[in-house]
A = this chain, B = another copy of it.
């Protein structure tokens, strides 16, 4: 008995349906959905740009270099996602309708899990250099009620624009990063050093991409906050410095007007919490509201 075999020769059009039929066999509906969408959009991208074989090889090599740049302290795929606006788009999709809550922004590649916990008022700058910075804040629900015992993780760069994990050989880890718990009034405060605007690490393939795209690699100065409290959505955000030159051209598209605050310059002398400063310092105050969730 003869059976006719299928014609095995996909063309530019028919191959997409063939791949969709294969990737749609998984048991998990969400995996199927993501796989099918990935194939459709990836193929549409390829059809639009019609890469040469050499360009395909360049694409493979680019992604391989991005992967090889990733280690314990560097996440080049997050940089890629950030600089292509993908991270902020995912962020926007995941924070619809949190209008009473503080706005979120990118996590960035420099967060370190489980930073050391400090008491209020501690100086957590460690070996980082920069003008002293007093940070004060409060955490409340979207209804404005203070949240006691909220976990507040902070991390930031130094006056030269580098995080501790970018200068491990000189500083070791865990400078300018800390965890606090809000008091009964929902408040916290600590000392550190004032961060500067900085280029994202641009000595790798993402830096090469930015140069090819005619873009600068800078982010405006900011302190990162990750805030968690039971019964509330975790907040991942920054507070940017008003007046920074890069607020309108953040390379990762992370700036939102409501996240810009004064890093107010204050003269030497006694501070609000009693510490006596013998040099000028900066003072940042921000009140965070967490969405229910």
Chain A residues proximal to chain B, CB less than 8 Å: 5-12, 15-16, 18-19, 22-28, 31-35, 37-39, 41-53, 55-56, 60, 63-64, 66-68, 70, 75, 77-78, 81, 84-94, 96, 103, 209, 212-215, 247-249, 253, 255-258, 260
Partner of A256, one of B8, B86, B90, B253: B8
Bound-state CA distance A12–B12 (Å) is 31
Interface of A is mostly: helix
Inter-chain contact A86/B46, CB cutoff 8 Å:
yes
Q: Report whether A213 and B35 are in contact in the complex, using a CB–CB cutoff of 8 Å.
A: yes
Q: Are B68 and A81 in contact (CB under 8 A)?
A: no
* A84 & B19 in contact (Cβ 8 Å cutoff): yes
Check A93 against B12 for contact (C-beta < 8 Å): yes
With contacts A48-B37, A253-B19, A257-B9 known, is A81 near B66, CB below 8 A?
A: no
Most chain B CB neighbours (cut-off 10 Å) among A35, A86, A247: A86
A34, B8: Cβ atoms closer than 8 Å = no
Question: Do B34 and A60 touch across chains, with their CB atoms under 8 A apart?
Answer: no
Contact B7 A257 (CB under 8 A): yes
Q: Which residue of B lies closest to A34 (CB)?
A: B49
B51, A10: Cβ atoms under 8 Å? no
Given known contacts A10-B253, A26-B213, A35-B212, what 11 new A-B pairs fall within 8 Å (CB)? A15-B92, A16-B85, A26-B214, A34-B49, A37-B49, A39-B85, A41-B42, A41-B44, A42-B45, A46-B86, A53-B90
A64 to B77, CA, bound (A): 7
How far is A24 from B24 in the complex, measured between Cα atoms in Å? 35
Tell me the minimal C-beta distance from A19 to chain B in angstroms: 4
Cβ B257 vs Cβ A15 within 8 A: no
In the assembly, how many copies of this chain are there? 2
A242 to B5 Cα, complex, angstroms: 12
Knowing A23-B213, A37-B48, A215-B22, the reply to whether A53 touches B94 (Cβ < 8 A) is yes
The answer to whether B16 and A89 touch across the interface, beta carbons within 8 angstroms, is yes
Q: How far is the CA of A28 from the CA of B32 in the complex (A)?
A: 37
Complex: A67 Cα to B85 Cα, angstroms: 21
Option from B6, B41, B85, B248 in Cβ contact (under 8 Å) with A8? B248
The answer on a CB contact under 8 Å between B256 and A213 is no
Q: Which of B10, B22, B212 contacts A92 (CB 8 A)?
A: B10
Known: A8-B247, A77-B60, A92-B12. A25 touches B213 (CB 8 A): yes
Q: How far is the CB of A153 from chain B (nearest CB, A)?
A: 15
Given A25-B213, A87-B56, residue A41 in contact with residue B45 (CB < 8 A): yes
A122 to B263, CA, bound (A): 76
In the complex, which residues of chain B have a beta carbon less than 8 angstroms from the beta carbon of A38? 45, 84
A89 touches B213 (CB 8 A): no
Contacts of A212 in B (CB 8 A): 26, 28, 31, 35
